[in-house]
Chains A and B, each alone.
Chain A
Amino acid sequence: MNAVDTRNREADGGPGLRAGHLPRLLPQRRGGGPASWEEHCARHGGLPVIGWDEGWRGQLMAEVGRSGLTGRGGAGFPTARKLRAVAAGRDAPVVIANGTEGEPASAKDKVLLAREPHLVLDGAVLAAQLVGARQAFVVVHEAVREIVDGAVAERKQGRRDGIRLKVMTGADRFVGGEASALVNWVGNGIPLPTVTPPRAAEHGLYGRPTLVQNVETLAHLALIARYGAAWFRSLGTAAEPGSMLVTLIGGVHRPGVYEIEIGRPVGEILALAGGPAVPLGALLVGGYFGTWAGPEAACPLPFSANGLSEVGASPGAGLIAALPADSCGLAETARVARYLAGESAGQCGPCVFGLDAIAGALEDLAVGRSFRPDLLRRWTGQVEGRGACHHPDGAVRLIRSALRVFGAEIDRHAQGLCCGRRPLGVLPVPPRRQP
């Protein structure tokens, strides 16, 4: 096997891969559709061929560690640490690339897979080689299934990878992207979360050490393998290096997926999307497990875990939803809360019954029927941390931030008034499924 040392290669692959420059993951390209294998190789070069040489694997692992890459699925766990944990397992490991994107408002994983599937697949193959796995499952949203199938077929033609890639469609559930639920979905077709510990890295699919990694993280991994840790760190902050994909929705001129440098101020990110199209009332940062924040407070802040912590927020799944000032934040939150309650896997009592009760209380508040802050406080406290997974915790976080940020609206609603004039739906909620 040829070990092609393509690390730290300077950009003869195009302008976007110079250190300190964007785009990295999502280059501008002529024509729609996914980048073909040829186009992908023209831009990045072939995949560094590692083989099973122990030394090469260790070098790349060290490079990933130096890069400071963290998970882009929302949890932000250091990738090198996860890779090492899985590689250290006793049984043969397996890789699951998580492109399910169960978060309704987020589109970054779909867009990445639709435009640069080979970058993700490169990352999956590399991750498998790093942990010593022979097989990688690539679980994707239905919308991009065909494209990813096509990309895998392209790769099989040249017999390039040496790792078995199997593409699957994700469960159409919010909880379907949770790591243990995803493992169960791949293993037995039932996307139910389980109690952790043990984590998937120790005991996952078929009881084997399993690497569950977001597809964006794998794409970054594929670039680090070619251009190195220093290149990766040339963007972003010292504590949180690199770039990330964000989804902007709501009252901006050009909603969509954008690639940003971590630490860029929120206001500048909104400007990338053309800026606010209407006066804004609030921003939802992170996702449906994220946090509401006022625009004046949030816009100057760097979009990073450190920067956003000032308003109690974090980058999460990379969503920024711009709520117009004439939308009712309480009603939107009540709608999302009801959706999250319905998406409970139904395994743990506090989540099933608690989120249902909380959603009911929020709905009552939103329509001005009744206001029980005591019950909301009591129930959010009773629900938090008492499920097998973090579904109830995420919902509670969103709801608490709504009660904080929309304080003025709450007073009005308690008197039976509402300021909202815009119809609901800034935050997308999939239609209720048949029971």
Chain B
Amino acid sequence: MSAAVTGSQGLWFLSRGSGLVLLVLFSLVVVLGVATRTGSAPARWPRFAVAELHRTLSLFAVALLVLHVVTAILDPFVTIGWAATLLPFASPYRTLAIGLGTLAVDLAGAVLVTSLARRRLGQRAWRAVHWLAYLAWPAAFLHSLTAGNDLGIWWVALVEVGSAAAVAAAVLARLFGRVRGGDPRGPGGPPPTRAATKPRRVPATSKAGGR
């Protein structure tokens, strides 16, 4: 009987612990994703390293996510049910909180699958789904605030705040930042200031006279 209790406690700790690590990982992945897009990198890091780290960490996070979900469902003290792994708001226990987590899993799952099949899907389809990451993270974050009981612990609260701050900074950089391009060692000097992306000017013509 005590073994069962200890086992159950173990599952519960694993679930909470993996959840916290996941929040950190997921936040890092978002930050790295923005860094990949804007082409910014710490001093001497090549851009491909940033892109690869983004990918590697996200795959690692998926593995940890499996652990997190399985331990939570196997935990006998709370009834979540297997349906809730993919179906949002299907858990009798803390329906909303768990549901947010399920939502995050669904969205992140779509991002994962499309990313693995990117070459076959093509850039447009991949990109459209990848934007869902900006919905998945808030869902995961809100899940972490509502599904756990540990916000009273000071360092848990610190992790929550830190993660949110990092992602907020990344989102601002994504919205207002510039793409840095060009080899700064070119003989013409630093390249002329580039806009974030190439301007597609032609659609500005008036179509009215066309037909």
Contact = CB atoms under 8 A, between A and B. Distances in A.
A191 B202 contact: yes
Interface in A139-180: 142, 145, 168-169, 171-173, 175-176
Interface residues of B, number: 19
A53 B181 CA distance: 59
Nearest to B201: A346
A173 B192 contact: no
A190 B203 CA distance: 6
A419 interface: no
A345 B205 CA distance: 11
Interface stretch (A247-255, A283-291, A330-338, A352-360): A352-360
Interface string A372-405: 0011001100000000000000000000000000
A348 interface: yes
A193 to B, nearest CB: 9
B202 A378 contact: no
Given A353-B194, A357-B192, A378-B188, A142 B209 contact: yes
B198 A347 contact: yes
A197 interface: no
A185 B210 contact: yes
A145 B211 CA distance: 11
A192 B199 CA distance: 12
Chain A residues touching B, range: 20 to 34
Contacts of A360: 192
Nearest to B186: A378
Given A353-B194, A378-B187, A171 B205 contact: yes
A348 B198 contact: yes
Contacts of B201: 344-346, 435
B192 A168 contact: no
Contacts of A345: 200-202
B204 interface: yes
A192 B203 CA distance: 8
Interface of A: 142, 145, 168-169, 171-173, 175-176, 181, 185, 189-192, 344-349, 352-353, 356-357, 360, 374-375, 378-379, 433-435
Given A171-B205, A357-B192, A435-B201, 15 more contacts: A145-B209, A168-B210, A171-B202, A173-B205, A191-B205, A192-B202, A344-B201, A345-B200, A345-B202, A346-B198, A346-B199, A346-B202, A347-B200, A353-B191, A357-B188
19 contacts: A171-B202, A171-B210, A172-B206, A176-B205, A181-B202, A185-B210, A190-B203, A191-B202, A345-B202, A349-B181, A349-B198, A352-B198, A353-B191, A353-B194, A356-B192, A357-B192, A360-B192, A434-B204, A435-B201
Interface of B: 181, 187-188, 191-192, 194, 198-207, 209-211
